[in-house]
Amino acid sequence: MNVRDFKNKIYAELAGITKALANPHRLEIIELLAQGPCPVEYIVDNTSLTVANASQHLQTLKSARLVTSKRRGKYSYYSLASIKVFEVWNAMRDLGFSQNAEIEKLLKEFRESHHNLESVTCSQLLERIQQGKSLLLDVRPRKEYKSGHIASALSIPQDELIEKLKELPRNKEIVAYCRGPLCAMADNAVEMLINHGYKAVRLESGFPEWKSKGLPVEQ
């Protein structure tokens, strides 16, 4: 094989990966699978996709070796093929944040609609946890919490929060987190907490970003 043939084949394989990623629904599926393994039915419940569409997108990702599946009883559970898939997705998102003015505008408008709620970085959160200054709240669905969560986090899904407010201490800052910066669950939770007199902030990223940094997690 000469050098030209070698390069053509390598770039064609790489292009196949980027082609699999070049779809908004598949990007959303990757974000969801970064929370933990799940069946196609769970993806349908958490996106705007039908079972047929979700299955088709999953097969495209699987063909590109970005996703794997494993049978559990009558369901097939899908997972990211490795942490590198999330890291590439995360790098693409960060590139979009820094280079695309429309994305920057959308993010600004969204944050302003949520009153520019205060957020903390992963390193700031780790310091607050170590100092015992903050209570960490995972507001994702409980299934995702069970698949993996930040160490010491308490699970109260967003849709249960209003019923369980009395269980939370008022003398501690509450840090809420969810799936990541494109997820609104933590924003909604923080807004609710503040409206009920709690001091609350959100983690600016989410569980997958925390995990990818090698920070403490539990399952």
Active site residue ranges: 178
Tokens of 83: 């942490």
Which residues have CB under 8 Å from 32's CB, separation 6+? 38, 42, 43, 46, 47, 179
- The single-letter DSSP state of residue 185 is H
Beta bridge partners of 138: 155, 177
Bridge partners (DSSP) listed for residue 80: 67
Helices (H), 64-150: 83-99, 101-113, 122-130, 142-147
Q: Which DSSP letter does residue 175 get?
A: E
Distance CA 150, CA 144 (A): 11
Distances (CA, A) of 78 to 66, 75, 143, 177, 183: 10, 10, 14, 23, 21
Are 122 and 136 in contact by the 8 Å Cβ rule? The answer is no
